[in-house]
Amino acid sequence: AGAMPGAFLATAAPSGAPWQALLQSGPPAVDPSGFVGGPWGECMHWAVMFELQNPNFSSMPGYGDDGPAGQVIEFAEECGFGSMCQVLERNEEVTKQNLQRGNNGFVFQQHMGASMGAPHTGGMPGMGPPPGMPMGAPMGAP
């Protein structure tokens, strides 16, 4: 296949950049729970989601030989991360099981602020009553 990344890797990640660019920014890293996290983990998550949302993906252009998840694993191998393929396959399996149960969460542990999927902003302004509000005072009480 050469170094031609699969069709899925040319699609845009949630950040707007193509997955291929994100994956090339660093090697797949395994988190403490034994899953691949970071861009590789996110890419696999969305690849599995794509497969479940497009059950006939094998008839779509660019997916005849390999589904999105397979393309992620193949790309890891092409990038010299062959040792990570088994872990990525584990990501794929568990993600598929989770999504089929209606759990859309990532299987890997997200590092604070590292993921674009869920912004972690401590103490959002405007959430909940402002401090110092008297509790239970009816509005417009005489």
User: Strand pairing partners for 29?
Assistant: 37
For the chain, the maximum distance between any two Cα atoms, rounded to a whole number of angstroms, is 78
Q: Tokens 């390999």, residue?
A: 66
Helix axes 85-100, 68-78, angle to 10 degrees: 160
- For residue 142, pLDDT beyond 70: no
**Residue ranges covered by each domain of the chain:** 10-100
Q: What is the pLDDT of residues 70-106, one digit of tens each?
A: 999 999 999 999 999 999 999 999 999 999 999 999 9
Q: What is the pLDDT of residues 3-44, one digit of tens each?
A: 568 999 999 999 999 999 999 999 999 999 999 999 999 999
Note the pTM of the prediction, 2 decimals: 0.75
Single-letter residue type at 51: E
